[in-house]
Amino acid sequence: MLKYLKVTLVGLFLFTAIYLFVIFLWASSVAGELLARAPFPDQASRLQPRHVQVVIKVEDPTFLQHPGLNLSKGQGVTTITSVLARDLFLGKHDADGIEGAMQSFYRGVFNCCRKVDLGRDVMALVLDSRATKQQQLDLYLASTYFGSLDGKGVVGFEAAAHAYYGKDLSRLTDTEFYGLMAMPMAPNRYHPVRNPELHAERAKRIEALVTGKCEASGWLDLTYEDCATAPAKTTTPSSSA
Judgement on whether residues 100 and 150 belong to the same structural domain of the protein: no
Q: Cβ–Cβ contacts within 10 Å for residue 170, how many? A: 12
Which residue, of 93, 114, 138, is where some domain finishes?
Answer: 138
Judgement on whether residues 23 and 131 belong to the same structural domain of the protein: yes
Mean pLDDT of 184-205: 95
In a domain, 234, yes or no: no
Span 70-115, pLDDT tens digits: 877 777 778 999 999 998 998 877 787 888 888 888 888 888 887 7
In a domain, 60, yes or no: yes
Reduced DSSP (H G I as helix, E B as strand, rest coil) percent helix, strand, coil of the chain, to 5: 60, 5, 40
Judgement on whether residues 49 and 103 belong to the same structural domain of the protein: yes
Beta strands in the chain (DSSP E): 145-149, 152-155
Give the chain's domain count: 2
In a domain, 43, yes or no: yes
Which of 73 and 14 is assigned the larger pLDDT? 14
Does position 240 have pLDDT exceeding 80, yes or no? no
- In 3D space, the residue among 40, 42, 46, 58 whose CA is nearest the CA of residue 161 turns out to be 46
- How far apart CA 221 and CA 31 sit, in angstroms, is 32
Which of 232 and 146 is assigned the larger pLDDT? 146
Judgement on whether residues 59 and 87 belong to the same structural domain of the protein: yes
Q: Residue 34 class from Cβ within 10 Å (0-12 exposed, 13-18 middle, 19+ buried)?
A: buried
CB 210 within 8 A of CB 57: yes
**Residue 202 C-alpha from the chain's centroid:** 17
In a domain, 8, yes or no: yes
Judgement on whether residues 130 and 28 belong to the same structural domain of the protein: yes
Domain of 191, CATH number, reads 1.10.3810.10
In a domain, 237, yes or no: no
Confidence band, pLDDT 50/70/90 cuts, at residue 155 = very high
Q: Which residues pair with 224 in a beta bridge?
A: none
For the chain, give the mean pLDDT: 87
In a domain, 167, yes or no: yes
Indicate the residue type of 22: V
Q: Cβ–Cβ contacts within 10 Å for residue 215, how many? A: 14
Question: Domain range spanning residue 168?
Answer: 144-227
In a domain, 12, yes or no: yes
CB 211 within 8 A of CB 232: yes
- Helix (H) or strand (E) run with residue 166 in it: none
Which residue, of 87, 104, 138, is where some domain finishes?
Answer: 138
Which of 28 and 44 is assigned the larger pLDDT? 28
Judgement on whether residues 13 and 126 belong to the same structural domain of the protein: yes
Judgement on whether residues 115 and 6 belong to the same structural domain of the protein: yes
Which of 116 and 36 is assigned the larger pLDDT? 36
Span 201-222, pLDDT tens digits: 999 999 999 999 999 888 788 8
**DSSP characters over 115-156:** TT--HHHHHHHHHHHHS-HHHHHHHHHHH-EEEEETTEEEES
Which residue, of 116, 138, 160, is where some domain finishes?
Answer: 138
The CA-CA-CA angle for residues 143, 55, 197, to 5°, reads: 90
